[in-house]
Amino acid sequence: MTQLLTGAAEPATDRTVVGENLSLPLFRTLSGVLAGHPYLKVVVDRAENTWHLLDTAAHPFHVNYIATRVLGMDLTALDADLDAFNASVYTDPGRRFLLGVLSLHTDEDADGRERTFLVLETTEADTMHGELLAHFYEFVRARVDGRLPLLLKPANHGQEEELAAISEQRVPRILSHELFGSRTRTPLNPGEATGQLRYFRTHDAYTAYATETGLGWADIVAMPCLPDDVPRVAGFLNTAPITPLSHTNVLASGWGIPNAIVRDLEQLVEKDGLDGAWVRYRVREDGITLERLGHEPDLRPPAWHRQRIRLDPPLLEDVPVLALHRLRGADRDRYGTKAANLGELHHVLDSRTADLTAFYGRPRPPREDLYGHLAARLGLHAPSLPELRSAAADFVAATVGAPEGVALPFALQQHFLASSPAIQQGIGKLKMALELDAGDVLDSLCLQLQHLIRHTPVPEPVARQIGQALPATAGSRGRLVVRSSSNAEDLPGFSAAGVYDSVTTARGTGELLDAVRQVWASLLSPRGVRLRHQVGISLDDTYMGVIVQEYVPASLGGVLVTCDPTRRQDFRNVYLNCFPGSPEQVVEGSVLPQQYLYNTVEGGGRTVSLGSRGDELSAATRARLADLSLAGRLLQSHFSASDVDRPLDIEWLMTDRGDFRLVQIRPYAL
């Protein structure tokens, strides 16, 4: 049976068909584009033993189509009972409808010839059991052109486990990370830029150009993996895989510039002569384009050239070295943002009085709130709002811990700097160079100052106060982690991700003093000074506190952000990166981490990439990471209280005992 659906309720151009076998030409007629791949929504009606091939342009949502076109419901009635209807099509084991997406992909076969194939998957929240997945695949396979290979992609870890008992001969499959790893082009940060493409095949070539010629605000930098110290430019292009949570992508997000992985860029550069050419570069969720312009455009300096960020005046009176658990968020004007946030985290976990449900209380039309979904994630049935808030606080406190340690205030840095006439003279010269925009001497002045700070003796009163950090952490022999905590980071419009130093290998008083001076010196790095100067942050207003913590051995560590960085409209998912060992190697980009998405509304998770390690974590560990992701989402309600949709950026580690520690918590640059 073939039926073309038309009617007054839908556009006259609706080309949806029912019951027809799917050929490649028909697929292309009905499909849209998502993440650079053509895709087509399908609905299998088990009661009628038929399927519907939806015209993507006319029907963006499976559920709306089924309700209005198949069941004859009114959209108002659907919206009033949407969650129950969703359960009937996504989680009911005896469901009538099976919903999925067919996407078209290409790769190379064993002989190097291009192969076109289709991938079938459900929505990420679908809980089909193994036999239902097999039935879905077999139904579709029987109705798709037999010349097109068809693979089933499990939509979440639960489906992967269900399929483990079914042979691949019966249900050929491809996993998410396998499909992701084969993508030629991957959007990382959406945006658009017009500029001059600068393509570097190696890091040495980049360094030579940046040193001799310099990169400007109109340049679009392309190379295998951009370095963390890349200056502010118009756009980024990577030719090798990186993660959306890399420092460079955090910078791209904070700066509002496009960033993507384009593995075939070298061929495009050679084919179209793009190196040095003026181009228009666009990164969107549905595709990446690089268009050569026929002439040099008339460009004006970007808005950030006129941007001026004003800092709240810090308080520089003498205050004591304090344990982190004694700090609160308001102490950022004495101890810096990172230290204050960790102190606030201690308070949230210890007091359990904060409302951690606000994100779920926000209206998500047509839903008035997501409290029911949160209750389901916490294993509760119809709790009152006070009960839900109490359960959320208990869950977070049971899932994560805050690091012990101490915070050194801004005042100690100021006493140290004031103790050296040579340092004061160097700061005076640097201020004058900034006032005169003398960029040619800026770097040398910064480097001289950094050298002075690292090698100037610490005055005895300051050294004595720094030494107070030892008894509270690891004693005289234990390994210490020394982190920056400036007032010039984690700001709207200025994240400073990767700009300031941390030291993870200090032992004893002498090495602790060296590490503290290194962190202080990082405030005056050429890159840090230039970036702050570009947005109008005065050197006089910039201060550095220091966090000193006992080193905690980690079996697993990484970063999570409480959003999907590549899909800003997605309020469900948390993006998590991890790798065996400490989180520093993930943050610094020295490894390509394992990457996961966890749905904190309906539940479930999926693997995006296995990274350079190449093997999957155990199901038990992935379940623990799902709990960590939900804890991060709940903390977002407190730390982003003025805008509960503003995501967090959290560095974390898992101890050898399997406990989670959050070592940094800050707003994610959007």
- Segments of the chain with pLDDT less than 50: 1-11
Q: Is the dihedral of CA 568, 498, 347, 413 positive or negative?
A: negative
Domains 332-405+553-667 and 408-537 share a fold: no
Supply the pLDDT for residue 439: 83
d(CA 404, CA 133) in angstroms, rounded, equals 47
Task: Please report, for the chain, the start and end positions of each structural domain, with discontinuous segments joined by +.
Answer: 3-174, 185-302, 332-405+553-667, 408-537
| Cβ–Cβ under 8 Å, residues 601 and 373 | yes
Which overall architecture, per CATH, does domain 332-405+553-667 show?
2-Layer Sandwich (3.30)
CATH of domain 408-537: 3.30.1490.20
H helices present in 97-246, as ranges: 130-141, 157-163, 176-181, 203-212
- 458-471 tens-digit pLDDT: 999 999 999 887 76
- 395-447 tens-digit pLDDT: 999 999 999 999 999 999 999 999 999 999 999 999 999 999 888 899 999 99
H helices present in 459-507, as ranges: 460-467, 469-472
Place of tokens 């202080």: 520
d(CA 58, CA 44) in angstroms, rounded, equals 18
To the nearest whole percent, how much of the chain has pLDDT over 70? 96
Supply the pLDDT for residue 314: 85
Supply the pLDDT for residue 7: 33
| Cβ–Cβ under 8 Å, residues 152 and 121 | yes
Residue 210 carries which side chain, given as an amino acid letter?
A: A
Read off the pTM. 0.90
- Structural fold of domain 185-302: Glucose Oxidase; domain 1 (3.50.30)
Supply the pLDDT for residue 536: 87
Give the angle 120-123-129 at the CA atoms, nearest 5°: 80
Residue 26 carries which side chain, given as an amino acid letter?
A: L
Three-state SS for 227-264 is CCCCCCCCEEEECCCCCCCCHHHHHHHHHCCCEEEECC
